[in-house]
């Protein structure tokens, strides 16, 4: 990550302070690595914060398709605008680049876990529907198309006679669709699949 390469870790700052007494005496901490400006780090932190907000917003939208089954880690502060601003946006003045960076990385990790959990849930739900339910529905649709065509022909030729055999056609179609669904390879992720 670019930010972690730009900002010095705490232990490096402490060792620099011990070695360079004049920096400590002036009250300045060499928080940035040589050749890195505050403007660069601030711009990168702003982009990072915007990315976190975008991922969180998209994950919340996708959570609708998972019937809100995945808990949002920031749901408790959702209605509090100031708390949301404090979590997802940078303060107007950055007192410490290291703290700001580590805080945003922690928020990013929570948001990323939330988003990945939603993606897995949605993939599982809709993958299961596509593998197990859609073949049955397609088979039933085929049975309906056949029966409508037969009904139209019988009405035209005036040979229509009600029959209980139509229910059997729907049952056979549903069983046939379920069997076709069993032969599909339902993928959960790139590595894991469901097979017999």
How far, in Å, are 133, 134, 145, 161, 166 from residue 142 at the CA level?
14, 12, 5, 21, 13
Assessment of whether the complete model's pTM goes beyond 0.75: no
Count how many residues are written for the chain. 196
Residue 176 has pLDDT above 60, yes or no: yes
The pLDDT tens digits for 60-101 are: 999 998 888 899 999 888 888 888 888 898 888 876 778 888
The pLDDT tens digits for 120-138 are: 999 888 888 888 889 999 9
**In the chain, how many domains are there?**
1
pLDDT at 21: 44
Task: Check if the beta carbon of residue 187 is closer than 8 Å to that of residue 127.
Answer: yes
pLDDT at 187: 55
pLDDT at 186: 55
The pLDDT tens digits for 20-52 are: 444 433 444 446 667 777 788 888 889 999 999
pLDDT at 23: 43
Q: State the residue range of the domain holding 146.
A: 2-194
The pLDDT tens digits for 144-161 are: 999 999 989 988 898 888
Average pLDDT in the chain: 79
Give me 80's structure tokens. 């509090």
Higher pLDDT, 119 or 162: 119
Give me 75's structure tokens. 């749901």
Across the chain, the runs of DSSP E, i.e. the strands, are 186-187, 193-194
């Amino acid at each position: 990550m670019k930010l972690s390469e730009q900002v010095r870790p705490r232990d490096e700052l402490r060792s620099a302070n011990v070695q360079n007494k004049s920096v400590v005496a002036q009250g300045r901490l060499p928080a940035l690595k040589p050749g890195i400006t505050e403007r660069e780090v601030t711009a990168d932190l702003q982009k990072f914060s915007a990315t976190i907000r975008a991922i969180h917003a998209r994950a919340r939208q996708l959570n609708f398709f998972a019937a809100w089954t995945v808990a949002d880690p920031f749901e408790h502060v959702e209605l509090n605008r100031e708390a949301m601003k404090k979590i997802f946006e940078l303060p107007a003045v950055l007192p410490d680049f290291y703290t700001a960076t580590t805080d945003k990385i922690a928020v990013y990790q929570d948001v990323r876990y939330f988003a990945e959990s939603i993606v897995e849930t949605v993939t599982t739900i809709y993958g299961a529907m596509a593998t197990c339910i859609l073949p049955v529905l397609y088979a039933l649709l085929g049975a309906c198309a056949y029966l409508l065509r037969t009904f139209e022909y019988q009405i035209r030729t005036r040979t229509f006679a009600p029959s209980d055999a139509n229910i059997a056609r729907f049952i056979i179609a549903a069983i046939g669709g379920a069997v076709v669904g069993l032969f599909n390879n339902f993928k959960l992720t790139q590595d894991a699949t469901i097979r017999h």
